[in-house]
């Protein structure tokens, strides 16, 4: 077995294993929507069963690639062609394809601090180096240390809206980091899998400001479709052709029935606004309750997460609170500056559960 695979630490599983054994617990640790896939999307999957369930084309069904290019063109404020789209087995499949196709053993990927943990794992499996640096200062300008890291890196990941903080880039930030990466020939991977989930803010893609960039998208969170495993990568056709080799070698092609569901989700998408309305309410409630406790946190402007500083070791805090009935994810694996933060997912819980969990937390921290 390869050493670099054995070295990968799935420490975060300790949380879900402990939480799943406990009765009567609020699961803030699960990073997926509480909503089920909308009925009309499931109906489209049902209908697709009338046809033959053979392999899909390696790059995905043309109809889905066209729907994706339409949506991404609006979002990126650019005109895309469907040949610039590869459908993948989830956003994870898209990220892996880009990393494995682009980065060799001596190449370095840079991630924000904090960042979604699996970026590190993708790097470690694919076999390249990574580093982490806090990108933004309090005035929402690129920090000097970040500029240095980006300049030296081969690839930078920008994630807006952000998992785990809910931070959302402004147009100026998207432009600054996009143009800076472009100027320094650092390939930009813009992970926008939460792009429809912003609260009182607009989504801007940094990829729109770089000629050397790929966008990662997915139906998982925006459309409550995590189990279907449909994501995508957007890039120039000649780059897509290289990513496709990784995608083919690791998955052959994305699942067919899921692609029909995804076509419907992108075509008829009013459900996304309804879910967002509910997330928005949960988020406002959560902000109030975190303020009541007196925690320090960045306002979640998007996605389905808050990332408060709890003022003590994140692992100890999380393990203790599971015992009390509240499961959260420690910040430590998400970045060296985050060992006192915890990730709270408000996507997976009802308002009643948020209230119940914070009643417990308030009592425990009193």
Q: Which is closer to its own copies, CB of 121 or CB of 365?
A: 121
At 115 the three-state DSSP class reads coil
Q: Which is closer to its own copies, CB of 1 or CB of 366?
A: 1
Q: Which is closer to its own copies, CB of 28 or CB of 297?
A: 28
CB of 341 to its own copies, least distance (A): 23
Q: CA–CA distance from 365 to each of 141, 154, 276, 287 (Å)? A: 35, 44, 31, 17
Q: Which is closer to its own copies, CB of 127 or CB of 364?
A: 127
Q: Which is closer to its own copies, CB of 121 or CB of 298?
A: 121
Buried b (16+ CB within 10 A) or exposed e, 185-214: ebbbbbbbbbbbbbbeeebbbbbbbbebbb
At 234 the three-state DSSP class reads strand
Structure tokens at 179: 């143009």
CB of 78 to its own copies, least distance (A): 22
Q: Which is closer to its own copies, CB of 192 or CB of 301?
A: 192
CB of 149 to its own copies, least distance (A): 22
CB of 281 to its own copies, least distance (A): 21
Could you write out the DSSP letters of every residue in 176-197?
Answer: HHHHHHHHTTPEEEEE-TTTT-
In the complex, which residues of this chain contact its own copies (CB under 8 A)? 1-2, 5-6, 8, 10, 32, 36-37, 42, 45-46, 49, 52-56, 89-90, 92-93, 96, 100-105, 118, 121-122, 124-127, 224-229, 239, 242, 245-246, 248-258
Q: Which is closer to its own copies, CB of 125 or CB of 360?
A: 125
| Rounded distance between C-alpha atoms, residue 72 and residue 233, angstroms | 10
CB of 133 to its own copies, least distance (A): 22
Q: Which is closer to its own copies, CB of 96 or CB of 180?
A: 96
CB of 250 to its own copies, least distance (A): 4
CB of 184 to its own copies, least distance (A): 18
CB of 47 to its own copies, least distance (A): 10
Which residues contact residue 90 at a Cβ distance below 8 angstroms, ignoring those fewer than 6 apart? 218, 220, 229, 230, 231
Rounded (to 5) percent helix, strand, coil in the chain: 50, 15, 35
Q: Is the peptide bond before 51 cis (omega within 30 degrees of 0)?
A: no
Which residues contact residue 265 at a Cβ distance below 8 angstroms, ignoring those fewer than 6 apart? 37, 38, 41, 219, 223, 225, 271
Rg (the chain; Cα; Å): 20
């Amino acid at each position: 077995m390869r050493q670099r695979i054995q070295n990968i630490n799935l420490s975060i599983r300790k949380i879900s294993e402990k939480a799943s054994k406990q009765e009567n617990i609020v699961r803030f640790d699960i990073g997926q929507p509480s909503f089920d896939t909308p009925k009309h999307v499931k109906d489209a999957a049902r209908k697709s069963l009338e046809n033959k369930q053979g392999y899909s084309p390696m790059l995905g069904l043309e109809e889905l690639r066209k729907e994706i290019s339409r949506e991404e063109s609006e979002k990126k404020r650019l005109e895309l062609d469907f040949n610039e789209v590869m459908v993948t087995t989830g956003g994870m499949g898209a990220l892996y394809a880009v990393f494995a196709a682009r980065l060799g053993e001596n190449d370095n990927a840079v991630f924000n601090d904090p960042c979604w943990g699996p970026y590190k794992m993708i790097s470690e499996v694919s076999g390249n180096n990574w580093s982490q640096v806090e990108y933004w200062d309090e005035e929402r300008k690129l920090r000097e240390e970040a500029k240095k890291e980006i300049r030296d890196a081969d690839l930078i990941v920008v994630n807006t809206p952000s998992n785990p903080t809910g931070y959302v880039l402004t147009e100026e930030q998207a432009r600054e980091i996009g143009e800076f990466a472009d100027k320094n020939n650092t390939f930009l991977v813009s992970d926008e899998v939460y792009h429809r989930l912003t609260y009182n803010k607009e989504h801007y893609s940094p990829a729109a400001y770089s000629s050397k960039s790929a966008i990662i998208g997915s139906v998982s969170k925006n459309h409550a479709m995590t189990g279907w495993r449909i994501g995508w990568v957007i890039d120039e056709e000649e780059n897509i052709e290289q990513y496709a080799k990784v995608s083919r070698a690791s998955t052959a092609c994305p699942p067919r029935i899921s692609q029909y569901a995804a076509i419907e989700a992108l075509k008829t998408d009013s459900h996304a606004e309804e879910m967002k309305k509910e997330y928005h309410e949960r988020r406002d409630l959560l902000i109030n309750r975190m303020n009541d406790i007196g925690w320090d946190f960045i306002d979640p402007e998007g996605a389905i997460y808050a990332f408060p500083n709890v003022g003590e070791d994140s692992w100890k805090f999380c393990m203790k609170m599971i015992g009390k009935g509240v499961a959260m994810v420690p910040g430590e694996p998400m970045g060296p500056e985050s060992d006192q933060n915890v990730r709270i997912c408000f996507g997976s819980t009802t308002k009643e559960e948020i209230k119940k969990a914070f009643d417990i937390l308030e009592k425990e921290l009193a």
